[in-house]
Amino acid sequence: MTDIVKKELLENLATYRFYVLTGLMFTLMLISIIVSYGDYHLRVENYNVLRPAAHVTDKIILPPEPLSIFAKGLDANVGRLYELGALGVQVQPNQQSINRLSSLFSIPDMLFVIKVVLALIAVLSAFDAVCGEKEQGTLKLMLAGRTGRAPVLLGKLAGRFILVFLPFIILFLIASIVVSLLPDVAGGTEYWRRLAVIACASGLYAASFVALGTLVSSLVNRSSTSVMLGLALWVLLVFVVPNLGVTVAQSIGDVPPSDRVEMQNRLASIHSIYETQQVMKNAREKDYSRIMFQIREANVHLFETYRPQLDRLIGLTKALVRISPSGAFAFLMTEMANTGIERDIQVKDEIWMYIDRNFKKFGKLEKGEVEHFQFRPASFGEQVSGVALPDALLLLFVPAALIGLAIGAFMRYDPR
């Protein structure tokens, strides 16, 4: 098997394809790091401008996450300014100083490069692994030897995987070192541990698409058919399934848009203020605590009714999107970069609980200092054993299953 791996490496290293694909990956990773760091730097500047003074307790803003340079995810969202009060929470709209054109296109971060381009490179590197040899007539010779079919296929798979992943991991390592040395990025243990998980996940993800390309190559007789089928599956797994998953989930999830909930909340607050003022009009002693309690009650009711619906929708979306390894990888990488959906939910939950604990003080219904907001993010260990686990298992399962299928197909492959 080692000989097969060596043969695959030597045969493909000097090819035009290897140079083009590696060049493409290098260019994209470079662009991604430059653009993403620039964007991160802008967010840091915004954060420094908006950061409230130490004694201010009714405004919260979290610093941008350095790992968002690799996967921006929801970082711009989480890092917005939250203005708190007894009436609820206001989020600053359009905090990011990026033109509206960006909302029409995707974010060109490392997540995008790996999810889309690395997967494409993997498929393009493996589509002729078996049928290409058959076309050249070398497959018959190879199988005429003493090596069994399974080791031949595993050797080919390993060889092609190394050709894809080795240049990637070298570039990724260089990018990680460069980023860790940039201003505003603290590259401590946490940074490296998280990037190590992302690198492993990228390996599994690339292996999935190399295995997919090899499987397709073991099912057809011609390279031209194999490349067509490989690209069709790549489009299906990278674009169609995740995007259609979100579309289907939103369509069947039957969750009201947040604008409706916001409006109901707003009108309930105005109603409480208005009604109380009508009652107070003729009172000599004006007690506005009633307004506060009514508004709080309305807020809590709406939040507690809406939240389970939203959680269900998120759960359904995740389940549908995870049908594709691309979806599972995106969830895993954003969670590891602290820019995922769970981080967004956790921040909002903690802010909500903070207001709940300090509501009377915010509304001046109780004397005393409002406590300082302390966000305790989930630790690396908690994330790995919790939110990242299903995606990690999926990313382990998919290449294993595809390799199994590829071996099965190759066992029955006619090399003539």
Partner 1 sequence: MLGLVIRKEIQENFLNIRFIASCGISLLLMISSIAILTRSHEDQVTDYRSRLQQQDEFIDRFGHFNRLGWMSTQHRGPSTLQALVLGIDREAQQDNFISNPVPVLLSRLDFVSLVTVIMSLIAIMFSYNAISGEREAGVLRQVLASGVPRRTLLVGTFLGGLISLIVPFTISVLAGMLYLALSPALQLKSVDFGILALLLVLSWFYVSVFYGIGLLFSARSHTSAQAILKSLFAWVMLVLIIPNVSPFLAAQFYPIPSAAKINQEQYMIVDRERDEIVRKRLREMTETTYADLRPVVGLPRHEVEAALKSDPSLNERYRQYAKECDDIIAAVNKDQRAKAEKIGEVFEKRSQTQEELARVLTSASPLSNFVLIATDLTETGIEADNHWRRQSGEYERALGKYADAKYRSEVEKNPAYDSNDYLDLRGRPRFQYMPAGILERIEPDLPQWGVLTVFTVIFFTAAFVSFQRYDVR
- If one asks whether residue 108 binds partner 1 (CB under 8 A), the answer comes out as yes
- Which is nearer to partner 1, 224 or 385 (by Cβ)? 224
Distance CA 230, CA 209 (A): 9
Name which position in 13, 270, 389, 411 contacts partner 1 (CB under 8 A): 270
Q: Which of residues 332-391 bind partner 1 (CB under 8 A)?
A: 334, 340-341, 344-345, 348, 351
Name the nearest CA neighbour of 389 among 340, 315, 331, 345.
331
Quote the tokens at residue 274: 């208005």
Q: Which of residues 146-205 bind partner 1 (CB under 8 A)?
A: none
Name which position in 116, 150, 199, 378 contacts partner 1 (CB under 8 A): 116
Beta sheet of 82-85, edge-to-edge order: 59-60, 82-85, 88-91
Quote the tokens at residue 9: 């490496």
Total site size for partner 1, rule CB under 8 A: 108
- If one asks whether residue 16 binds partner 1 (CB under 8 A), the answer comes out as yes
If you compute the radius of gyration of the chain from its CA atoms, what whole number of angstroms results?
27
Q: Kindly state the smallest distance separating residue 246's Cβ from partner 1, in Å.
A: 5
- If one asks whether residue 266 binds partner 1 (CB under 8 A), the answer comes out as yes
Name which position in 50, 169, 185, 405 contacts partner 1 (CB under 8 A): 50
Name which position in 10, 141, 173, 247 contacts partner 1 (CB under 8 A): 247
Name which position in 122, 227, 332, 336 contacts partner 1 (CB under 8 A): 227
- If one asks whether residue 315 binds partner 1 (CB under 8 A), the answer comes out as no
- If one asks whether residue 2 binds partner 1 (CB under 8 A), the answer comes out as no
Name which position in 208, 218, 223, 358 contacts partner 1 (CB under 8 A): 223
Quote the tokens at residue 195: 């990037």
Region near partner 1 per CB under 8 A, out of 202-210, 272-280, 378-386, 405-413: 272-280
Name which position in 1, 9, 30, 42 contacts partner 1 (CB under 8 A): 42
- If one asks whether residue 305 binds partner 1 (CB under 8 A), the answer comes out as no
